[in-house]
Each structure stands twice: as structure tokens, then as C-alpha cells.
Structure 1
Amino acid sequence: MRKLAAALVGVLVAALPATAALAAAPKPDIAVTSAADKASYAEGETFTITVTVENKSSVDAKHVHYTGGDSEGVDDVAYGELSSGFDLAAGATKTVKLTGKTNRVAWQVGRGYVAFELRADNGEANAADNITSVRLLVPGAFDDLGGYVFQGESYDAEWTPQTAGVPGVKVVATTADGKTRYAEAITDAKGLFRLAHLPAGDVLLTFTAPAGWKVMAGENGEYDHTLAQVSADDSDEPRIFVPAKKVPVSSPSASPSPSSPSPSSSPSSSSPPLSPSSSPTSAGPGLPVTGDKTMLLVGAAAVALAVGIALVLVARRRRVRLQA
């Protein structure tokens, strides 16, 4: 038994270096990028996609090939060398092409796409960069887009026909990058809105709620905007449902009172005369004083002088008494 155990231990010890060497053996690192030959296509038009495959590792990649993918709005996709496979030396780059045609679905939704993955038979060091996709724009179709802004307490609230709506919310539709404006609408008493004649494809909807409401749009309800898909079909049913909750209405802050002008801020003799519409309190030349008003001003000045002298005498007498 001791001899058998020793033999097994010897076999394991001898196998460990080989196992470690296999585990540490480098693998090829296939990176894939792709681009369509045109910015947009018509329905039924042939497209060509150029695929660039790079082996970023120091190991030759054996039989690099297409392993699967997905597509929409396209027909007759031919992968060519990506299907049959090819070897790619360490550090080398190869360019291949695939072709196909857009179809009616691409026209209805405004775009088609092709997505796929490549792998080498001798492994992959980084699977994150061997997947690629290409969007094929197919403009031409238009349709309306409708939805509801309804009352809810959280972003995942669910709409039902009995749910109260939020009226007075402005909804603006633009391109996905927000640069081109398509249409706008205001929600009615039920919270319903409808945007007319939008191009098929992705549009950005931005919501502006009236005071006392907060729209909870986006994936987690943190935004006032969300992306939507416009499709040319026969359905007029609302497809966008966005909750909004009540929030406190902030009171407007009081406007600061105008500060009194300092003596140094009086206009210089070179300042232009004020217009007749200027404020009566503004500094500047006034109208000449007539005789009746002059007598009134002189009398008022005399009374003020007398009152001032009396106040001084009273204060002096009180001070004398306090010192006594």
C-alpha cells in the first residue's frame, strides 16, 4: 500500500507542471468591428457590411468563424468567409464582407440590423470584443404615436383604463439625439397624448409637467425623457405609458427690495438728462419750482428747524439733571 501511494503521489507531482502549463497557455484574442457601406437604404435594397477581424494576441487563431447571431428587417444574409472560417496569425488583421437585403419590416420600423459573434477553435481570451452589430437605416414610413401620462407613486406603477391621468403635460418628440424637433402635444383630461406623422424609428420623448407634478420617465424613472419606437402599422392603440406623481409646489421667493443709492453713485454733471418716463426718484434735473410751492417749502423748512432746536434744548436740560 505504501508503495502504491508513493507511486500515485509521484504521478500527481509529475502531472502538476504540465497542467499548470496548459492552464497558463495564452489564447487568441479576436476583436471584431463592422460598418455598413451606406448611411441609409430603401426597402429591398442590397447592403454590404465590411467586417474587420483582428487577432490582438501573440497566439495564432485557428479557424475563426461565425458562431451565431441575430437580425431583423433583412433577408438573404450571406456571411461568406465568416461561415467557412479562416486562420488568423498573431497580430494580424483580416477584412471580409457579408451581404443581404432590407425588407418590409425594416421600412415599417425605420431600420434593420445584423448582429453576430466570431470565435476561434483554440479558444478566446476576451469574449467581450468578438461580438458586433450594424444598424441599417431604412427611412420613408410615418405613423402616429400615442400614450398616457398617468398618476402613480413610483416609476414601475402600472396603467389601467381606470387609472387617473395627468392633464396639461407637454410632450415633445425629437430625433434620438434631440437635435431635430418633430411634433408636440398636450395631455388631455385623461392624460392621453398623440403625436402625429412621426418618422418610423427611434424618437426621443421629453415631458414637461405642470406645477405640482413630477414625471418619472426613463428606465428607473429618474428622467423627464425616454426613447420610443415609432412603427408604421395599422394599430392606433397608445404604446407609451409614463407615470407622474404629485410633489409640493414651491412658493415663489420674494424679490429683494431696491437698495438706496449711495452718495457716490449720483450722476456726474456730464450724465445725459433722464427721459420723461424715468422713475420720479431717479437722480437728475427736475422741473423749476413756482412761487406758491416755494413759499410752502420755505415754511416747512422753518418748522423743521424750530423742532430741531427744541429737541436739542430738551436733551441738554435732561443731561444736566442726570449729572446733578
Structure 2
Amino acid sequence: MNTALKVAAVIAAAGLSSAGLFAASPAVAADLPDLKVTVAVTPAKASYAVGDAITTTFTITNAGGATAKNVRDYGGDGTGVDRAGGLNAGPFDLGPGESRDVEWKGVVNQAAYRLGHASGAFEFTNDAGEANRADNIGRYRFAVPGGRGVMEIKAFIDVRNDWDSEQPGLAGAEVIVSDDATGAKVTSGKTDAKGLVRFTGLAPQDYQVGVTGWKLRGDDPASTRVQVQADQVASAVLAILPGSEATTGPSATASPSTSASASPSPSVSASAIASASPAASASPTDAAALPITGSSSGPLFAVGAAVLVAGGLAVAAVYRRRRRFIA
């Protein structure tokens, strides 16, 4: 092999051996703990009442291939239950396949009655890493029925494009109230001369409210969310797009609920109703960190090797030209 080819070969070999410097070693999910959290509420019942004593049991299992170090609760939120203290879970270690129960006692409170349920979501963590954070959160929810609330709505055509409910109301509009979770129609009613309608006897929960034949301003042109609480009045406005085409609005396939009734609401003034779109109620959420399942070292390796090999060939070419020139 002549000198030029030797130089090219040395450079190429060096490139191939050093290309790995560009690649990061991926984390292997099998070598990490993997906490999984489930929750049980006892005594187990179809529904609960204010004053009921309950125990929320969080079961934490390490489904990963390494020991979870210093397992503990990482925070969360709950409503509808009075607790004597914080969750205060841990710290403790969990080997692969091991589980531990953490009990948290409490009493159902008045907030659960107003909302129609009690709920919570709490996260657990450890110091040795985590293969999949998506299942580190334990959630619970149970019904606390019995309460009833009222919903007052004003529908108006928002000709000024400013959500101002002082604008004239839309008379004779059909307002549809549907279950937020299922989309089934709960009740409906027509607005009075001022664009007002009132619904009574509603179970505490979230509803979707729309106007038949019109589109609304906001993210959803068909309906807007309204939360009803027991023994309270929920007020909201439906700002209608001027000249909007007919829309089906919320689902109207189910029969109206016999427990709720609607009537024009002449006693409610427009100024008593909020002029902003009602805020959506939020459910606890978590950001799931996905495990690393691959590596970008392959493309980096190929690029690095190609660049260095090309450099070696270029050196060889220059060396040959130089020899010819000297000769």
C-alpha cells in the first residue's frame, strides 16, 4: 500500500473508532424502577354522604428492574374530604416486584355535596429514576349525590364582538343543556324577551350549554361548559356569532330529565350575569415522561465516519498530486 492510501486508511480508522464519541449512552428502562399506583376507597359503596368516614388506600408497586429508593408522595390535590393531616407517604425503598400500601383517612365534607362528588390525584416518586412516570399518579373519585342547583343563562347576539351581556338578548331561542361527560340531553328551555332562561333541579356536575340554530363565540361554536353546584346558582352567557349558520348544538337525542325544569327568567337582570365566558373546570393532570427506547447514535456515527473518510481520501488525492508535481 502506498503512503497516500496508508494515510487515508489511518484517518478512516480513526474516524470509525472515535465516531462513538458523538453518541450518548441511552438509559435502559429495564434498569430503572417503575412505580405504579392504584387507589381504593373503603368502605366500598355506590355513593357517599357528608360525614361518612372513608379510607383512601394507595398501593405503590415497583414493576421495574431496579430498587426504588426513598419512595414518597410528590404532591397532588383533592377535594371533598377533610383529612387529619397530609398524605406523608414514605420515604421507603421498594425492590423489583415489591408493593406497599399507604392509608389516608378522612371524612366526606360539604364541598363534596356541592360538587356531587369527591376526587383527588396524588403522585409518587423516588430517587433512583423512573421508567415510566405516566402511571405514578393515583386517582380516586366517588359520588356524593342529593344536592340540586340552578342555572341561569342569557343568550344574545354579540354584534359588538366583545362578550358584553348588556347587549339585547335573543328572545325565543332554544337553549339545550347536556351532560358534559356523555353528551346526552338533560333539559331545554326557551329564552324570554330579554334572552334569559332559568333551569332548576339540576344535579351538581358540569354541563354543556348551547343554542339551537346558532353558533357561539369561543373555542367550541356548539356549546360552552357550565358547572352547577348544589344549593347555588350558576350564571353564564351565550355570546352568539352574528349571522352564524344553523348548528345542531349539544346532543338532543336523549329524553329530558324529569328532575330538572326550565322557565323564562324575567327576574334575572342582564347585569347579574357574568359577561365573560364561564371557565372550564379542570381535572387533575400529569405530564408523563416517556422512557428512552432508542438512541440517535446511529445517524451521528454514520455522519462522523463519512466526514472523516472523505477527509482521508482528500489527503490522499493531494499527496498524489504533490508527487506528480515533484516528479
Structure 1 residue 186: Cα displacement = 1.2
Separation in 2 of the partners of 1:51 and 1:83?
9
Separation in 2 of the partners of 1:149 and 1:227?
14
35, 39, 42: which one aligns with 1:34: 39
Larger radius of gyration: 1
* CA deviation profile, 1:15-46 (whole Å, cap 9, x unmatched): x99xx789769431212222433332101111
The 8 Å contact of residues 79 and 99 in structure 1, kept in 2 or not, is answered as: no
1:99-114 matches, cutoff 5 A: 99-114=105-120
Within the alignment, does 1:192 sit opposite 2:193 as a pair?
Answer: no
1:1-324 matches, cutoff 5 A: 26-36=31-41, 37-76=44-83, 83-152=89-158, 158-178=162-182, 182-209=186-213, 213-216=214-217, 220-222=219-221, 224-233=222-231, 236=233, 239-247=235-243
> What code does the residue aligned with 1:47 have?
I
Structure 1 residue 196: Cα displacement = 1.1
* CA deviation profile, 1:116-138 (whole Å, cap 9, x unmatched): 11111223233332123212321
Q: Alignment identity in percent?
A: 33
CA distance 1:79–1:33, change in 2 (3 Å): farther
Structure 1 residue 56: Cα displacement = 2.6
The 8 Å contact of residues 172 and 183 in structure 1, kept in 2 or not, is answered as: yes
The 8 Å contact of residues 55 and 88 in structure 1, kept in 2 or not, is answered as: yes
Structure 1 residue 207: Cα displacement = 3.3
Q: Which range is displaced more, 198-207 or 175-184?
A: 175-184
Structure 1 residue 182: Cα displacement = 4.1
Structure 1 residue 99: Cα displacement = 2.4
Structure 1 residue 158: Cα displacement = 4.5
* CA deviation profile, 1:233-279 (whole Å, cap 9, x unmatched): 45x4x5222222133669xxxxxxxxxxxxxxxxxxxxxxxxxxxxx
> What code does the residue aligned with 1:128 have?
A
Separation in 2 of the partners of 1:158 and 1:126?
45
CA distance 1:249–1:108, change in 2 (3 Å): closer
* CA deviation profile, 1:174-219 (whole Å, cap 9, x unmatched): 444447654322122332221111112233435313xxx32356xx
The 8 Å contact of residues 79 and 97 in structure 1, kept in 2 or not, is answered as: no
Separation in 1 of the partners of 2:244 and 2:238?
20
> What code does the residue aligned with 1:52 have?
T
> What code does the residue aligned with 2:62 have?
N
- Name structure 2 gaps, 5 residues minimum: 1-19, 247-327
Structure 1 residue 92: Cα displacement = 3.6
CA distance 1:202–1:248, change in 2 (3 Å): closer
Structure 1 residue 229: Cα displacement = 1.4
CA distance 1:132–1:163, change in 2 (3 Å): farther
- Name structure 1 gaps, 5 residues minimum: 1-15, 251-324
Separation in 2 of the partners of 1:77 and 1:137?
21
CA distance 1:51–1:164, change in 2 (3 Å): same
Q: SS of the residue aligned with 1:239?
A: strand
Separation in 2 of the partners of 1:21 and 1:188?
69
Separation in 1 of the partners of 2:86 and 2:166?
51
- Structure-2-length-normalised TM-score: 0.57
- Structure-1-length-normalised TM-score: 0.58
CA distance 1:60–1:73, change in 2 (3 Å): same
Separation in 2 of the partners of 1:229 and 1:142?
12
The 8 Å contact of residues 78 and 100 in structure 1, kept in 2 or not, is answered as: no
Which stretches of structure 1, 4 residues or longer, exceed 6 Å deviation after superposition? 20-25
Separation in 2 of the partners of 1:132 and 1:35?
9
Structure 1 residue 153: Cα displacement = 7.0
> What code does the residue aligned with 1:214 have?
K
Separation in 1 of the partners of 2:105 and 2:189?
41
RMSD after superposition: 3.3
Q: Which range is displaced more, 172-181 or 124-133?
A: 172-181
